[in-house]
Amino acid sequence: SNDFPKGFKYLPGYFSLEEQKELVETLRYLVKEAPLFTPVMPRTGKPFSVRMTNLGVLGWVSDRNGYRYQPQHPESGQPWPEIPEVLQSLWKQVGECEAAPEACLVNYYAATAKMGMHQDRDEKTFEAPVVSVSLGDTAVFRLGGVKRGGSTQSLKLSSGDVVVLGGEARLCHHGIDRILGGSSSLLKDGGRLNLTLRRVSVF
Ligand code: MD3
Ligand code: FE
């Protein structure tokens, strides 16, 4: 169907093109400080096709030992850079959460990258929403239910779109089926950036 789960808010075109360009410039600087790394699956060590980094006091990592949040970059050992003001402000405006975000996971998708269906369950609280920002090439996003194996729907996420995953939607299965390579010229080398702002600790 075309109905979103309760707590799923889709805000297409939330950021103007000028705002997107400014955000990309900010991210270019921050990603120099905390370079993208290639996470690997727990136990198997199979690499993700998505590259990642984080901003904030905690960042999500995956390595042979498991998934977890940690305060430092896994390769440099340095603390993650702070979450920039524009994203703190976004969280205040759409996050419906008293507490500040602790983590901003930055996912970079080359045109061939994808992300399998999963739930986000590594946080200590599911009370706070996840707020997602898409930049660059359009993604074909798949949204399922809280239980795995149920019906799913597909939605295109374009540059400047914001999605808020609160309430029931917070624990819905989701993934990225494919990237529409060349659909945006925002990123000089193509591909897609997705930012997810999160609360990790109980507040
Ligand atoms: C629905 N990221 O980082 S963003 C992730 O485009 C992740 O990079 C995808 O899945 C991406 O974990 C999807 C939209 C999104 C983010 C979190 C969700 C949808 C969600 C959490 C629960 C339900
Ligand atoms: Fe996710």
Instruction: Give the tens place of pLDDT for each residue, 6-16.
Output: 999 999 999 99
Rounded to the nearest whole angstrom, what is the distance from the C-alpha of residue 29 to the centroid of ligand 1? Answer: 24
CA distance 173 to 171: 7
Rounded to the nearest whole angstrom, what is the distance from the C-alpha of residue 165 to the centroid of ligand 1? Answer: 8
Residue nearest to atom 16 of ligand 1 (CA): 132
pLDDT in tens, 66-75: 999 999 999 9
Mean pLDDT score of the chain: 98
pLDDT of 1 higher than 90: no
CA distance 106 to 34: 10
What is the model's pLDDT at position 76? 98
The pLDDT-based confidence of 143 (bands split at 50, 70, 90) is very high
pLDDT of 171 higher than 90: yes
Q: Are 130 and 190 in contact (CB under 8 A)?
A: no
105 φ, ψ to 5°? -80, 130
Q: Which CATH superfamily is domain 8-198 in?
A: Alpha-ketoglutarate-dependent dioxygenase AlkB-like (2.60.120.590)
The pLDDT-based confidence of 123 (bands split at 50, 70, 90) is very high
ipTM value? 0.98
Task: Please choose from 48, 106, 130, 193 the residue to mutate so as to test ligand 1's pocket, defined by most ligand atoms within 8 A of CB.
Answer: 130
